[in-house]
Structure 1
């Protein structure tokens, strides 16, 4: 399917069920810091945190949520030039440009509307596809965080990555 059949939208109440399903997919849960078996109420509460420092996007194909990205500008005055992001893409859509679309849109907002100098993220050190995507958008590895999280009953490392503008 062409990327033109994919649209980006602000995450709204209408997308809660789809975002919940996205992050409850075991293959997606495995690559993000979300817990499995989250309820729609968890995502409804996150949506309720409406703040102009939070940009919440969904990627849609024929109305179905196939990706999600959150960008948050830090509220501390001395860190207000920085933001962090996290994202997830449905397994069937990985490697098909959805992550690139979400990231490009979020970085446009970060650069041209939030005036962020630094955008940072963490990614599992073995998630080569995501690391490649982030590098494509100018993110650089700043460090390795050992035993950062538990996944599949084992401690796993993550990379701290950032993009400076």
Structure 2
């Protein structure tokens, strides 16, 4: 497999990111809904205060996306949360790890972030394993956290504290 290159997302990436999020294997484990519009992704990739967006590329193909948000509220400016997704055909190839390593480096060394938070559905064992690998711990469970396939699913609240 070719090298995984991580870079900031550019406006030209919105359609590739939209297509990744449109895959049933992907939106099933996120809070996205099926059939995302082009306009929504164009707006999401617009520059916003406190938001950094990364993409993972293999041979110049966008195969993964990670968005970090650092709240603009003074008392929470040491915290970031993030969402991540990897295209179905690129999963289990180190793409998520590469994105998470880059995000942690940014948070620890460039953004003054002391705490990184996330939520993950309790039955998403591969994602939970990757998060644990990078020091994230389960801090609690949100009952009936999100709707998926017509049923409410619990989610773990996880965090990594520097």
Q: Distance in 2 between matches of 1:116 and 1:9?
A: 20
Q: Deviations over 1:50-72 (max 9, x none)?
A: 33x21100011222211000111
Q: Give the drift of 1:14.
A: 1.3
**Match for residue 159 of structure 1 among 146, 156, 161:** 156
Where 1:48 maps in the other structure, the secondary structure is: coil
**Match for residue 42 of structure 1 among 40, 43, 57:** 40
Where 2:43 maps in the other structure, the secondary structure is: helix
Q: So what's the TM-score if we normalise by structure 2?
A: 0.97
Aligned to 1:118: 115
Aligned to 1:80: 77
Structure 1 gap segments, 5+ residues each? none
Q: So what's the TM-score if we normalise by structure 1?
A: 0.95
Q: Distance in 1 between matches of 2:118 and 2:79?
A: 11
**Match for residue 30 of structure 2 among 24, 29, 32:** 32
Structure 2 gap segments, 5+ residues each? none
Q: Deviations over 1:5-63 (max 9, x none)?
A: x2111111111110000000011010111111011110110111333x21100011222
Q: Distance in 2 between matches of 1:77 and 1:163?
A: 20
Q: Give the drift of 1:119.
A: 0.4
Displaced runs of 4 or more, over 6 A: none
| Cα root mean square deviation, aligned | 0.9
**Match for residue 8 of structure 1 among 6, 17, 21:** 6
